[in-house]
Homo-oligomer: A and B are copies of this chain.
Amino acid sequence: MTQSDFVELEKKLRDAELRPTKQRLALAQLLYSQGNRHITAERLHSEAMEAGVAISLATIYNNLHQFTTAGLLREVVVDSSRSYFDTNVAPHHHFFHEEQGTLEDIAKSDLTVANIPPLPEGTEISSVDVIVRVNSPRR
């Protein structure tokens, strides 16, 4: 991590009113210095271990939620058995590889959702999530 990366990540945390602790900076680096990512808590924990940063799983969860609340992450619900966190917080959609359990972005502008019927009385849209589930056919 270069000095300027560090400063940038630190600013990102401060702007979100999160103290730039050693653990948060390590997580921010894993999350934000290699393009958009879709990651589970367990996986992020493993990566932190591999990177030589000891962080408890509780801290991983605490921070994933705090980052999400701060708008630095969003949660993508695709699998009922585990949570995925997405570093791309702009509205967009996903391909989900059912066998591998991996996500791939679909830009909002690349896919059209039209003719949403009238919303249930008294409600407003929070988000529109499209998941295109794909698999590799055994041929």
Contact = CB atoms under 8 A, between A and B. Distances in A.
A115 B110 contact: yes
A85 to B, nearest CB: 11
A137 interface: yes
Contact of A98 (B112, B116, B126, B128): B126
A135 interface: yes
Interface string A76-102: 011110110000000000010110000
Copies of this chain, count: 2
Interface string A35-56: 0000000000000000000000
Contacts of A95: 119-120, 123
Contacts of A127: 132-133
A130 B128 contact: yes
Given A79-B77, A97-B120, A119-B95, A130 B129 contact: yes
> Which 10 pairs show the lowest CB-CB distances between chains A and B?
A123-B134, A112-B114, A126-B133, A80-B83, A129-B131, A110-B117, A127-B133, A112-B115, A130-B130, A77-B80
Given A128-B132, A129-B130, 8 more contacts: A77-B80, A107-B117, A110-B115, A110-B117, A112-B114, A116-B132, A126-B135, A129-B133
